[in-house]
A = this chain, B = another copy of it.
Amino acid sequence: MSGAGVSEVTVRVPMNIALVKYWGKRDEQLILPLNDSISLTVDKLTAETTVRMIQGVGENTVEINGRRVELSSNKRYQTVFDEALRLQRKRKEDSNQNETECISHHFEVISKTNFPVAAGLASSAAGFAAIGRAIQKILNLNDTQANRLARIGSGSACRSMFGGLVHWKKGEKEDGSDCVAVRADSENWKDLYCIILVFDDERKKVGSSEGMRRTRETSTLLKHRIESVVPERIEQVKKAYESRNFQDLARVIMADSNQFHAVCLDSVPPIRYLNESSWRLIEVVEKFNQQEVKAAYTFDAGPNACVIVQKDDVPAFIKAALQDISIPSEDLKSVEEDLNVSFEGPLNSSILCSKLIVSPMGGGPADS
């Protein structure tokens, strides 16, 4: 873990997907959200990240998938490193360590995601969660401190720090000290899987920071969502998850995804993340659920779908999706091998999914 003046930790942290969505910041600098959100990790999509904390003056460096990140235009990394050093100093002061001289440190981060960063799958959340967790280990920080590191890097990153159902509480305090993500279940529901369908899009996307700002400033519905709808839904998700009630869970997940996109549409000018393919997928899920609710779609700030099902329903859902959506055959093959099933197709369909990923959920991060 450490050499001469070098501490090094490698962790693997999955991305996460919100079941009740985060949209809108009450503090842009500290990345404090306007409302609570609740999520599960997508265990197969990870960022494996090595953080080196090196004694002495030097340039901080970050490399993602072999490419150097320009830190002058990505201020968030510096914010996280500064906070890490502040926490280190604070701990030394608290423990009355007799080091009055200030020892300089700098950081090297090397991160590899096992999914394309460009696919719009919240890679930065996984990356910052990994950095937060690695620094936690290096500096022996508590969960709240690690949470804060991840959060000030990329808001929802703080939800990737645990397995099981994770509840990111917005908190009330101005300094963000009560804004933390915590586990909200007594035991992980291992039966939950997600099927991610990547739908490409040529449109220029409204980035989530810009989108959140626009919605907060212009939507006349957002306030009501935050005050009256979200708190109830958080409780509904917890209850459904704890009692393993898939149908109730699925209903809240879909309603909240739709409401998030509704407040985007209620913004000025309107923000649109769902495209024709997303809507086609919604129809596939509606049809699949006709007899019984067995799948729940959820969409973040982009057209890609995340469909949550119980493990046994994965093959049936993919089979249903293939009626309307073309899925790359190598991805189908990989699912066939993983789950020991076989699909027909892909059929000819006008809706193209460029990548299909099937993953268990809720496993949380792992040291490696």
Contact = CB atoms under 8 A, between A and B. Distances in A.
Interface of A: 218, 220-221, 224-225, 228-229, 251, 254-255, 258-259, 261-263, 265-270, 272, 275-276, 279, 282, 286
5 contacts: A221-B263, A258-B266, A258-B268, A269-B286, A275-B276
Contact of A282 (B218, B251, B270): B270
A53 B282 CA distance: 50
Copies assembled: 2
A259 to B, nearest CB: 5
A91 to B, nearest CB: 45
A266 B272 contact: no
B268 A279 contact: no
A228 B286 CA distance: 32
A286 B272 CA distance: 14
Contacts of A286: 269
Contacts of A229: 220-221
B268 A265 contact: no
B272 A279 contact: yes
A300 to B, nearest CB: 15
Contacts of A275: 276
Question: Of A254, A255, A266, A269, which is in contact with the most chain B CB atoms at under 10 Å from its CB?
Answer: A266
A220 B259 contact: yes
Contacts of A269: 254, 282, 286
A229 B222 CA distance: 12
A220 B254 CA distance: 13
Contacts of A261: 265
Nearest to A282: B270
Nearest to A225: B221
Question: Of A228, A254, A255, A286, which is in contact with the most chain B CB atoms at under 10 Å from its CB?
Answer: A255
A270 B259 CA distance: 9
A329 B215 CA distance: 39
Contacts of A276: 275-276
A107 to B, nearest CB: 42
A282 B265 CA distance: 12
A275 B272 CA distance: 11
Given A221-B225, A225-B221, A228-B220, A262 B272 contact: no
Contacts of A218: 255
Nearest to A221: B221
A262 B266 contact: yes
Nearest to A232: B220
A155 to B, nearest CB: 23
A255 B268 contact: yes
A35 B318 CA distance: 43
Given A262-B262, A276-B276, A254 B225 contact: no
B265 A258 contact: yes
A258 B279 contact: no
Question: Of A263, A267, A268, A269, which is in contact with the most chain B CB atoms at under 10 Å from its CB?
Answer: A269
Contacts of A258: 265-268, 270
Given A221-B224, A221-B229, A266 B259 contact: yes
